[in-house]
């Protein structure tokens, strides 16, 4: 750990050397990018998946970076599996400093088509699973007086989208859970924050990104004028995992290119019928957009 008087602009404040991070759901997708970012910052890793044999190639990649790494089986919908993973992680490394609660799922359906089973699958994985993993790992953090917990949310933690009712409920719940755990554990040196990506291409939503019309529609609504790239999350996850964020807890950090601002056109496009008037040399100052919210 760094001294409390360290210069917040210095590189060591983001250094994760000699720290151990668990990242759940690292068999593919954003979980691997998050884990890789922490390893590049110096952290040793615990990787998890329901089938840990699938993690072997990624484990070798992390080892090649000079980091210690173990791969453990974890089904976040099974309480015994969670308890076993926590015990095995502590047996392997002694102390866990960082937890990234990334494991999640989605079933994309109109609200009227969502089944009882669909709802339970999503909420049990994304919300219940995140709580009980945080509880299992947080127990050791509280006992040792230090920890960084990063719950992965989504732009749906703060905004509603059609076809994502159970998913949005689970991610909104993650935001509230983050605040509650931060209030519970802050006095014990444990910070709890939510990292909420915007629209990033993943296995869960690739069908949308295969539609050029939808991508154009999306980009129009993102002030940064592009969808997210996985490396856009690197700085945010390292910040929340490091001493740089020591006075940040209970917060939701949106990495979404600004789409959560609710960007909406507030001007009317010129009509072809106005072309003649424009060509007559009328050089009046253009009207300001009206704010009809």
Q: How do residues 182-213 score in pLDDT, each as one tens digit?
A: 999 999 999 999 999 998 887 767 888 889 99
State yes or no: is 167 an active-site residue: yes
pLDDT, averaged across the chain: 88
Residue 272: band (very low, low, confident or very high) from pLDDT cuts 50, 70, 90: low
| Superfamily of 13-201+230-256 according to CATH | NAD(P)-binding Rossmann-like Domain (3.40.50.720)
pLDDT at 50 over 70: yes
Confidence (pLDDT) at 151: 98
Lowest-pLDDT range of 56-60, 142-146, 252-256, 286-290? 286-290
pLDDT at 101 over 60: yes
Residue 280: band (very low, low, confident or very high) from pLDDT cuts 50, 70, 90: very low
Look at phi and psi of residue 103 and say left if phi exceeds 0, alpha if psi is from -120 to 50, else beta: beta
Q: Which is higher by pLDDT, 9 or 264?
A: 264
Confidence (pLDDT) at 269: 61
Catalytic residue among 167, 209, 217, 247, which?
167
d(CA 61, CA 94): 23
SS3 for 184?
A: helix
pLDDT at 152 over 60: yes
Q: Please list, in sequence order, all residues whose beta carbon lies within 8 angstroms of the beta carbon of residue 3, skipping any fewer than 6 positions away.
A: none
As to burial, measured by CB atoms within 10 angstroms (0-12 exposed, 13-18 middle, 19+ buried), residue 123 is: middle
Confidence (pLDDT) at 265: 63
Both structure tokens of 227: 């969808």
As to burial, measured by CB atoms within 10 angstroms (0-12 exposed, 13-18 middle, 19+ buried), residue 74 is: buried
CA 72 to chain centre: 21
Percent over 90 (pLDDT), the chain: 75
Give pTM, 2 decimals. 0.86
pLDDT at 216 over 60: yes
- Helix locations, the chain, DSSP H: 29-40, 56-64, 79-93, 116-123, 129-144, 165-185, 206-209, 212-220, 234-241, 275-279
Give residue-wise pLDDT tens across range 256-265: 999 999 876 6
Confidence (pLDDT) at 281: 44
Both structure tokens of 7: 């210069």
Could you give the C-alpha distances from 2 to 5, 9, 147, in angstroms and in order?
Answer: 8, 13, 14
Work out the average pLDDT over 45-70: 96
Residue 2: band (very low, low, confident or very high) from pLDDT cuts 50, 70, 90: very low
Confidence (pLDDT) at 278: 44
Work out the average pLDDT over 141-169: 94
Confidence (pLDDT) at 276: 47
């Amino acid at each position: 750990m760094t001294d409390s008087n360290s210069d917040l602009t210095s590189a060591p404040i983001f250094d994760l050397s000699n720290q151990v991070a668990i990242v759940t759901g690292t068999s593919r997708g954003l979980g691997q990018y998050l884990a890789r970012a922490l390893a590049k910052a110096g952290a040793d890793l615990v990787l998890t998946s329901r089938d840990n044999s699938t993690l072997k190639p990624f484990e070798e990649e992390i080892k090649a970076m000079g980091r210690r790494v173990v791969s453990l089986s974890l089904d976040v919908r099974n309480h015994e599996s969670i308890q076993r993973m926590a015990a095995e992680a502590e047996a392997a490394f002694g102390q866990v400093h960082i937890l990234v609660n990334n494991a999640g799922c989605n079933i994309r359906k109109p609200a009227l088509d969502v089944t009882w089973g669909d709802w339970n699958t999503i909420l049990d994985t994304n919300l219940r699973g995140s709580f009980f993993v945080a509880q299992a790992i947080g127990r050791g953090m509280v006992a040792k007086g230090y920890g960084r917990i990063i719950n992965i949310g989504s732009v749906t933690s703060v905004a509603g989208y059609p076809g994502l009712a159970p998913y949005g409920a689970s991610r909104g719940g993650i935001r509230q859970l983050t605040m509650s755990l931060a209030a519970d554990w802050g006095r014990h040196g444990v910070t709890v924050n939510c990292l909420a990506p915007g629209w990033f291409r993943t296995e869960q939503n690739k069908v949308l990104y295969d539609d050029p019309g939808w991508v154009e529609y999306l980009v129009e609504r993102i002030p940064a004028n592009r969808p997210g790239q996985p490396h856009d999350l690197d700085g945010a996850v390292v910040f929340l995992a490091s001493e740089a964020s020591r006075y940040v807890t209970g917060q939701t950090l949106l990495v979404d290119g600004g789409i959560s601002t609710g960007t909406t056109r507030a001007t009317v496009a010129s009509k072809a019928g106005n072309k003649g008037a424009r060509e007559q040399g009328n050089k009046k100052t253009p009207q300001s957009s009206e704010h009809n919210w």
